[in-house]
C-alpha cells in the first residue's frame, strides 16, 4: 500500500500530530516489542474484515504485531488462525501461522522472532493448549511477552472496552488504585472481572513496563495512534506524589525526564536554586520512578503550569492521564503555554476552556475568569525559554 495513502488514512483516524508521535515511538522500539494482539475465534468470525485491514495498515507502516489466537477460548484456534493468514496473504501481507504447543517451547519463540526478521506477522495459535485452563494459557502469554519484551497487549473485544453495568466503558484502569474497587462491586460483567484478574497477575510478574488495552476491532487503530485512545487502557499503576517545591526531589533525574519528554536540553542553570524551573516548581506532581511530572507556580493571575512531561519511553502508557487527573482535581483554575508543534497540542485543545494562538506559543487556560485572560496570555508569552532550542 502506498505510504501516502497509509498516512492519509491514519490522519482520518486521529490528529496528524498524534499519528506522527506514536509512529515515532513505535518505530523507536525493537520490532518484536511492538504489540501482541489477542483475538479469539468469536472476534475472527465476526470482525475479520476490519481486523485484517488494520493488520494490513500496520504492516504497511513497518509495524508487525503478534496475533495470538485462542487465549481466552482456544477451541477452533487453528482454523481461525488459518483464516487470518489466508486473508492477509490474499492482500500480499506476509504472515505465518505458528502453533504454540502446550508450553510454548524456545524453538517456537525463536520461530516467532524469525518471522519478525522476515517482515511478516506471526499468527500464534493456542489450539494445542485448548485443554489447559485459562491460568495456564495466560502463562504462555507471559512467556511470550517476556521473551519479546512486549510493550503493549491488546485484547480485541465485542464491547468498546471494560464495561460497568449501566455506565459508559472505562477509559483508564489504574490497577494499583482501581482494582479492589472495581472487583468489589457487581458492576463488571463476569468476563471483564476475570480479564482484570488475569491482567493484574500478568503485569505484576512481567519484568518490563507494559500496558494492556481492551478495544473493539473497529477502533484498533484509534487506540494505537491517538492520545485519547478508543478502548480501556489498563496499567499496573504507580504512585504519583505531590510535593511542595523541589525539596527531596532528585533534580538531575527530573532534568533528565524533562529533556527526554521534550527532546531538547534545558538552558544552563534552569534547575539551579535561582533558576527558571525552580521558580515554576512551587507544586510538583511526580511519578515515583521519574516517568512523568507536572510543575506549577503561583502567580497573581492564577497557578501557572510551567511543565507537563512524560518520559518518551513511557508515553502512551497512561501516566500523563493520571497526573493530569490529579492536577485538575487539585487546581480547577490554571493556565499554560505550548509550542505550536508540540505533539500533544490537539490533546491540550480538548482539555482547555480557551486558548490563544500566536506564532511562537499557544496559550491555554482552564477555569480562568474572563477579566484575567489577557493578563495570563501576556504572562505566558513573556516568560523566557527553558530549553536551549526554543
Domain ranges of the chain: 3-235, 240-382
- State mean pLDDT over 17-37: 82
**Whole-number pLDDT of residue 211:** 85
Task: Tell whether the model's pLDDT for residue 20 goes beyond 80.
Answer: no
Burial 181-200 (b: 16+ CB within 10 A, else e): ebeeeebbeeebeebbebbb
Gap between the Cα atoms of 209 and 189, Å rounded: 27
Task: Tell whether the model's pLDDT for residue 9 goes beyond 80.
Answer: no
Gap between the Cα atoms of 239 and 322, Å rounded: 10
Gap between the Cα atoms of 117 and 32, Å rounded: 9
Task: Tell whether the model's pLDDT for residue 55 goes beyond 70.
Answer: yes
Q: What are phi and psi of 28, to 5 degrees?
A: -80, -15
Query: Which single residue is written with the C-alpha cell 496528524?
Result: 16
Task: Tell whether the model's pLDDT for residue 101 goes beyond 90.
Answer: no
Q: What angle do CA 34, 35, 39 make, to 5 degrees?
A: 155
pLDDT tens track for 178-214:
888 888 776 788 888 888 899 998 988 888 778 899 9
**Whole-number pLDDT of residue 2:** 57
Among 13-22, 95-104, 162-171, name the most confident range. 95-104
**Whole-number pLDDT of residue 332:** 94
Span 240-382 CATH architecture: 3-Layer(aba) Sandwich (3.40)
pLDDT tens track for 199-254:
998 988 888 778 899 998 888 988 888 766 788 888 887 788 899 988 889 999 99
Q: What are phi and psi of 240, to 5 degrees?
A: -120, 120
pLDDT tens track for 315-344:
666 788 788 888 998 999 999 999 998 878
Partners of residue 297 on adjacent β-strands: 304
Task: Tell whether the model's pLDDT for residue 10 goes beyond 70.
Answer: no
Nine-digit cell string for 140: 504462555
Q: What percent of the chain has a predicted confidence (pLDDT) above 90?
A: 40
- State mean pLDDT over 161-168: 75
**Whole-number pLDDT of residue 168:** 74
Q: What is the mean pLDDT of the chain?
A: 86
Task: Tell whether the model's pLDDT for residue 125 goes beyond 90.
Answer: yes
Provide DSSP, 277-314.
HHHT-SEEEEETTSSEEEEEE--SSS-EEEEEEE-GGG
Residue with more model confidence, 131 or 28: 131
Nearest to 258 by CA among 233, 218, 286, 229: 286
Residue with more model confidence, 1 or 82: 82
3-235 is classed CATH 3.40.50.300: no
pLDDT band at 302 (very low <50, low <70, confident <90, very high): very high
- State mean pLDDT over 159-177: 78
Report CA-CA distances (Å) from 69 to 44, 123, 128, 175, 179.
9, 7, 11, 25, 27
- State mean pLDDT over 280-284: 90
Do the beta carbons of residue 358 and residue 233 sit within 8 Å?
A: no
Which sign does the torsion angle of CA 54, 60, 61, 63 carry? positive
* Total number of residues shown for the chain: 390
**Whole-number pLDDT of residue 312:** 67
Nine-digit cell string for 83: 483464516
**Whole-number pLDDT of residue 4:** 60
Q: Which of 116-125, 133-142, 343-352 has the lowest mean pLDDT?
A: 343-352
Gap between the Cα atoms of 282 and 242, Å rounded: 10
Do the beta carbons of residue 290 and residue 240 sit within 8 Å?
A: no
pLDDT band at 1 (very low <50, low <70, confident <90, very high): low
Gap between the Cα atoms of 239 and 234, Å rounded: 15
Amino acid at each position: 500500500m502506498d505510504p501516502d495513502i497509509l498516512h492519509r488514512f491514519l490522519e482520518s483516524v486521529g490528529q496528524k500530530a498524534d499519528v506522527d508521535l506514536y509512529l515515532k515511538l513505535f518505530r523507536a522500539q525493537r520490532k518484536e516489542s511492538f504489540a501482541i494482539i489477542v483475538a479469539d475465534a468469536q472476534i475472527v468470525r465476526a470482525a475479520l474484515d476490519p481486523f485484517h485491514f488494520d493488520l494490513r495498515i500496520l504492516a504497511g507502516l513497518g509495524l508487525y504485531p503478534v496475533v495470538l489466537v485462542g487465549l481466552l477460548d482456544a477451541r477452533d484456534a487453528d482454523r481461525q488462525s488459518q483464516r487470518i493468514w489466508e486473508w492477509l496473504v490474499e492482500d500480499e501481507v506476509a504472515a505465518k501461522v505458528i502453533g504454540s504447543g502446550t508450553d510454548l517451547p524456545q524453538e517456537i519463540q525463536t520461530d516467532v522472532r524469525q518471522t519478525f526478521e522476515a517482515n511478516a506477522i506471526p499468527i500464534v495459535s493456542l489450539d494445542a493448549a485448548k485443554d489447559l485452563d485459562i491460568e495456564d494459557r495466560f502463562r504462555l502469554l507471559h512467556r511470550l511477552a517476556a521473551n519479546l519484551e512486549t510493550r503493549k497487549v491488546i485484547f480485541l473485544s465485542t464491547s468498546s472496552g471494560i464495561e460497568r453495568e449501566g455506565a459508559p466503558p472505562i477509559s483508564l484502569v489504574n490497577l494499583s488504585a482501581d482494582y479492589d474497587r472495581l472487583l468489589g462491586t457487581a458492576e463488571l460483567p463476569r468476563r471483564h472481572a476475570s480479564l482484570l484478574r488475569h491482567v493484574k497477575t500478568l503485569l505484576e510478574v512481567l519484568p518490563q513496563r507494559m500496558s494492556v488495552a481492551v478495544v473493539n476491532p473497529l477502533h484498533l487503530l484509534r487506540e494505537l495512534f491517538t492520545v485519547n485512545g478508543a478502548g480501556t487502557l489498563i496499567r499496573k499503576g504507580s504512585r504519583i506524589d505531590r510535593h511542595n517545591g523541589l525539596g527531596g526531589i532528585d533534580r538531575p533525574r527530573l532534568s533528565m525526564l524533562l529533556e527526554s519528554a521534550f527532546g531538547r536540553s534545558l538552558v544552563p542553570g534552569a534547575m539551579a536554586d535561582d533558576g527558571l524551573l525552580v521558580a515554576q516548581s512551587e507544586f510538583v506532581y511526580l511519578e515515583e520512578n521519574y516517568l512523568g511530572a507536572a510543575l506549577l507556580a503561583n502567580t497573581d493571575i492564577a497557578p501557572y503550569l510551567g511543565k507537563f512531561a512524560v518520559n518518551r519511553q513511557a508515553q502512551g502508557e497512561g501516566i500523563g492521564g493520571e497526573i493530569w487527573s490529579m492536577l485538575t482535581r487539585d487546581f480547577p483554575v490554571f493556565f499554560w503555554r505550548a509550542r505550536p508543534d508540540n505533539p500533544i497540542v490537539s490533546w491540550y485543545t480538548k482539555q482547555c476552556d480557551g486558548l490563544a494562538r500566536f506564532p511562537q506559543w499557544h496559550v491555554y487556560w482552564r477555569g480562568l475568569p474572563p477579566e484575567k485572560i489577557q493578563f495570563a496570555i501576556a504572562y505566558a508569552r513573556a516568560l523566557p525559554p527553558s530549553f536551549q532550542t526554543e
